[in-house]
Amino acid sequence: MGKKIPQLIVALDVEDRNRAVELVDELGDAVSFFKVGSRLFTAFGPSIVEEIKSRGADVFLDLKFHDIPATVAGSVRAALSIGVDMMTLHASGGAEMLRAAAEAVEEMEAMRAGSEGGKGKGRSEIELSAEARNAAVSRAVEPAASRPILLGVTVLTSLSRQNLSEIYSYDGTIEDLVLRLVELSVGSGLDGVVSSVREAAAIRERFGERVVIVTPGIRFANADRDDQKRIAAPKDAVSAGSDYIVVGRPIIRAASPLEAAERMLAELKAAAT
């Protein structure tokens, strides 16, 4: 029996809107999931998400929300209102913040279920904030087809153990810290986490299949590390049990992004068989 093949998400880490849309169109035959990060979203806002969604693709909004609970809950509702399929929050924001985000998703899902159920479920039976209602009707964008995925960001792949010691005076291992943050995320109602391949296997072993694992920092063998500290090859993501991998520069900066994406998919498939 073959191993699970992680789904490829291409990170649109570009500053030019036209280039981002070109990449979505060019990769459309091979890739159906794209990440919009802070660079692209800050420049173009919700409209870039809407444009990608209009092409039939899924959107991973990677803004790593980290604020007081009420603000994060409002940000999550706003993201849901534009059809985002997956989004991130810093797990280090704490249980109260993470729970507020998870409750915002449940609230919006309840509202959608109520509207689809017609008279069978009156609005009075579902407690919705005015903010949630306003967010839901503010844009003419279809919501995600399935329940949006909330992810806790554990330890950025650009950080080393030395960095953690400098920032937090933390002397434990990265793996131990990641596992603590995964437990906090899942216990607070999130669907999964973002983690490097190095910790993904330990996450899968401890938490099983109930946790969605999204793995960034994936590179072809012998590729440039760029600014990533904890990188891995596609085969490593398969072995670790990742559900999704996020790949940016190795694909979008390739001479032929489509060929690079197809190569990445081929390596994932080969590793899974």
178 in a structural domain: yes
Residue ranges making up the domain that contains 242: 7-272
What's the CA gap between 255 and 248, in Å, rounded?
A: 14
201, 235, 62, 130: CA torsion to nearest 10: -60
CA 28 to chain CA centroid, nearest Å: 19
Q: What pLDDT does 138 receive?
A: 42
**Residue 145: predicted pLDDT:** 57
| Tens-binned pLDDT, residue by residue, of the chain (273 aa) | 578 999 999 999 999 999 999 999 999 999 999 999 999 999 999 999 999 999 999 999 999 999 999 999 999 999 999 999 999 999 999 999 999 999 999 998 888 777 766 544 444 333 444 444 444 434 444 555 578 999 999 888 787 778 877 777 777 888 888 999 999 999 999 999 999 898 899 999 999 999 999 999 899 876 665 545 556 899 999 999 999 999 999 999 999 999 999 999 999 999 999
Residue 21 lies in a domain: yes
* Cβ neighbours, 10 Å, residue 197: 26
Residue 132 lies in a domain: yes
* Pair of tokens at residue 10: 């291409």
Is 1 within the bounds of a domain? no
Q: Give the containing element (helix H, strand E) for 138.
A: none
Q: What is the pLDDT of residue 144?
A: 56
Q: Which residues contact 261 (CB under 8 A, 6 or more apart)?
A: 8, 10, 27, 30, 31, 247, 251
6, 268 in Cβ contact below 8 A?
A: yes
**Phi-psi group of 198: left, alpha or beta (phi > 0 → left; psi -120 to 50 → alpha; rest → beta):** alpha
State the residue for tokens 């490829």: 8
CATH, residue 128? 3.20.20.70
Q: Is 119 a catalytic residue?
A: no
Q: Distance (Å, rounded) from C-alpha 158 to C-alpha 116?
A: 43
Q: List the catalytic residue out of 64, 119, 121, 269.
A: 64
In a domain, 157, yes or no: yes
Global pTM? 0.85
pLDDT recorded at residue 117: 65
Q: Is 135 contained in some domain?
A: yes
In the chain, the number of structural domains is 1
Residue 2 domain flag: no
Q: Whose CA is closest to 220, among 204, 202, 236? A: 236
Residue 220 lies in a domain: yes
